[in-house]
């Protein structure tokens, strides 16, 4: 093992989530996690850190432990290829009965670059659904979603994998369903999103 990898492992093991948030989360709280955004923040913290299966695993486990007392933890992410696949994610998520992990894929694989904000689109949609259930619903992300209308307008059809302790399920968002979601989201006020910013500190 080279020195760079050793340093990377030490730094990742000692990174702890720090919330810019003055409310107490409890067993009535719903937390939706913009996982790719948080993951990039986690990696950028130190110049030695890299996108690896090890860094993905450390962050996912850390986040799930951090929010294990919350009512619902919803992780939404585009594909993270270093995760080593859906079975690997399932093996971690199945230990947390309050957690659902959504992998948001572009249905049109050849033009996925045109659907770049697909994970933000689905994250915000799920947020508004959970908000109907409880006002104690929050998004963990450092994204300000200033391009809210662009996220909606540019969204394309999606293939989604839903992973939870109970099941793995494929969800098809076709043109009809996509338009229904867009109609719902256009009516929402993005300025009222309950958002938690985060950083990472080394202890």
- Looking at residue 179, what is its pLDDT? 96
Q: In the chain, how many domains are there?
A: 1
- Looking at residue 98, what is its pLDDT? 96
C-alpha span between 163 and 135 (Å, rounded)? 25
CA distances from 193 to 27, 51, 105, 143 (A): 20, 29, 24, 11
Across the beta sheet with 15-20, what order do the strands follow? 15-20, 195-202, 137-140, 30-34, 72-78, 99-106, 158-164, 168-173
- Looking at residue 1, what is its pLDDT? 43
Low-confidence ranges of the chain (pLDDT < 70): 1-13, 45-49, 110-113
Range of the domain at 198: 3-202
Instruction: Record the pTM.
Output: 0.89
C-alpha span between 203 and 201 (Å, rounded)? 6
Hey, what are 83's tokens? 């995760």
Number of residues written out for the chain: 203
């Amino acid at each position: 093992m080279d020195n760079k990898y050793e340093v990377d492992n030490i730094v990742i093991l000692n990174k702890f989530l720090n919330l810019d948030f003055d409310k107490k989360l409890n067993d009535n709280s719903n937390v939706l996690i913009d996982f790719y955004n948080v993951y990039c923040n986690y990696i950028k913290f130190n110049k030695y850190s890299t996108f690896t299966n090890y860094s993905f695993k450390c962050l996912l486990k850390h986040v799930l432990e951090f929010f294990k007392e919350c009512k619902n933890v919803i992780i939404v992410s585009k594909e993270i290829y270093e995760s080593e696949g859906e079975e690997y994610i399932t093996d971690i998520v199945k230990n947390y009965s309050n957690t659902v992990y959504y992998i948001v894929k572009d249905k049109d694989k050849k033009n996925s670059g045109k659907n770049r904000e697909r994970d933000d689109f689905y994250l915000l949609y799920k947020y508004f659904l959970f908000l109907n259930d409880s006002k104690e619903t929050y998004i963990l992300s450092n994204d300000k979603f200033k391009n809210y209308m662009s996220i909606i307008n540019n969204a394309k059809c999606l293939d989604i994998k839903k992973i939870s302790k109970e099941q793995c399920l494929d969800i098809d968002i076709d043109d009809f369903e996509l338009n229904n979601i867009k109609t719902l989201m256009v009516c929402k006020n993005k300025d009222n999103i309950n958002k938690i910013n985060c950083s990472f500190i080394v202890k």
